[in-house]
Amino acid sequence: MSHLKGISVPHRKNTAESAPVQMGAPTVAYYPTVQHIGAPAVPVVKAGDEVFVGTLIAEAGGFVSSPIYSGVSGKVKSVDGTLQPSGAFVPTVTVECDGLQTVDGSLAPPDVHDTESFIEALRRSGVVGLGGAGFPTAVKLGVKDLSKIEHIVINGAECEPYLTGDTRTMLDRAEEIGEGIELCRKYLGVSSFIIGIEKNKPGCIREMRSLAARHAGMRVTVLPSVYPQGAEKVLVYNTTKRMIKEGQLPIDQGVIVINVTTLASVARYIKTGMPLTEKCVTVAGGAVAKPQNVIAPIGTPVGEVFDFCGGFKSEPYKLLYGGPMMGIAIADKSAPVLKQTNGLIALTKDEAAVRPTTPCIRCGRCTNVCPLGLAPVAIAAANDATDMEALEKLKVNLCMECGCCSYVCPAKRPLVQQNKLAKASLRDWQNKKKEKETDKK
């Protein structure tokens, strides 16, 4: 098997040639304290406080957490709970912007001189997985036994339709990618760097091959344009031929995976001292008047980003954070740009129409395209029967929720949603099982 399975999806990378345009300050900015995987950040400001671009407004709330910095200058209006598109109700810092974008005068490049200070700088940077996952970068790179790291795989696949922010990073910020590589070489002792890029990005391939010629141990792997090429397990297998098994992390196979924009952002912070305060966002979809890549202050309401792109040429039927395969629906245009927001997609009714669901015809297409060989129909049946042992045997926890199964289903079954529910059911059952075993002891 040369590569894991997947599906062909329309690329719709119409903004690939659109160099990012800087957006000014919004009228108001919202900072939910959950913009990463792990514990929520803890607000350190209160109503009435003055903040600037780069001011700390919420500190990391635990080991797996990340600080949040203001992307605007102005005054804190409130620190209240708000409902997020994910369904979570979390503390949110609201800032009334003054439009000046004054930079915090206390910012300075961090003192990085060894591995410990490098990881500490990453903790302070606020950088998380910018491909959409949001895993704190300091935790990912903070491997206790550095000898375990054989390869750093740089994710430049960007396999979701519409999204081109990582494409622009490879085209516009190649030197920062190189600086990130040298930082990891120096402070993590890594000598092998593999950047995986889908073959539908020839400009990026040329740029990264040119970069590789200037950095020892770096090589480019050209990948088939097959979704979900950028998924961690798929990318690791297709670049190293190492299989991440159930319950394992990439480091268990000697690999760390880092998104290409994340790596460039690490280098920028180490060089400038400016924490993560803005994000390159692809604004696209059939309803958008002027699709383009926009650099927006984190915290900007998505409605203002769409307005910056000329608004809508037709009434949007669905708004999404991220791409159409794994994106999250946005119900309110006041929802903000977050650290992990890589796309804002406004789909027309024709693009987002939900077609009627019909009975399963047992065609097997869902299993045939699943990158991990799962059986979504069997998983759904086991979950409906509350058969937790069967869900364990069917390896439902391996599901990446990529949506390939739902995409190819001729009956339009909500297979990925059923897999999500099954994973949640199994997790609850396993936790209760562990509690019972602990009580017996």
Mapping DSSP onto H, E and C, the string for 247-278 reads: CCCHHHHCEEEEEHHHHHHHHHHHHHCCCCCE
Q: What is the pTM of this model?
A: 0.94
pLDDT tier, 355 (very low <50, low <70, confident <90, very high otherwise): confident
Whole-number pLDDT of residue 320: 97
With 80 as the cut, is the pLDDT of residue 316 above it? yes
% of the chain residues with pLDDT over 70? 99
Whole-number pLDDT of residue 18: 93
Whole-number pLDDT of residue 438: 80
Whole-number pLDDT of residue 1: 43
Residue 432: CB atoms within 10 A of its CB come to: 11
Measuring CA to CA, how many Å separate 382 from each of 338, 366, 391, 418? 36, 16, 6, 11
Task: Tell me what the mean pLDDT of segment 172-193 comes to.
Answer: 98
Crossing angle (nearest 10°) for helices 115-125 and 260-272? 100
Residues 255-269: tens digit of each pLDDT:
999 999 999 999 999
Whole-number pLDDT of residue 246: 84
* 115-272: CATH number: 3.40.50.11540
What does DSSP assign to residue 144? S
Q: Check residues 215 and 437 and name the one with the higher pLDDT.
A: 215
Whole-number pLDDT of residue 3: 56
pLDDT tier, 349 (very low <50, low <70, confident <90, very high otherwise): very high
Element holding 376 (H helix, E strand): helix 376-384
Whole-number pLDDT of residue 179: 98
Which of 43-57, 207-221, 421-435 is predicted least confidently? Answer: 421-435
Element holding 29 (H helix, E strand): strand 28-32
Query: Please, which residues have CB within 8 angstroms of residue 108's CB and are 6 or more apart in sequence?
Result: 273
Which of 58-72, 201-215, 353-367 is predicted least confidently? Answer: 353-367
- Among residues 48, 139, 142, the alpha carbon closest in space to that of 95 is found at 48
Residues 81-138: tens digit of each pLDDT:
888 777 778 999 999 999 999 999 999 999 999 999 999 999 999 999 998 788 999 9
Residues 272-310: tens digit of each pLDDT:
999 999 999 999 999 999 999 999 999 999 999 999 999
Whole-number pLDDT of residue 399: 93
CB 92 within 8 A of CB 79: yes
With 60 as the cut, is the pLDDT of residue 351 above it? yes
Average pLDDT, the chain: 95
Whole-number pLDDT of residue 436: 83
Q: Check residues 1 and 29 and name the one with the higher pLDDT.
A: 29
Residue 234: CB atoms within 10 A of its CB come to: 26
Whole-number pLDDT of residue 100: 97
Task: Tell me what the mean pLDDT of segment 384-406 comes to.
Answer: 94
Element holding 121 (H helix, E strand): helix 115-125
Residues 189-248: tens digit of each pLDDT:
999 999 999 999 999 999 999 999 999 999 999 999 999 999 999 999 999 999 998 889
With 70 as the cut, is the pLDDT of residue 2 above it? no
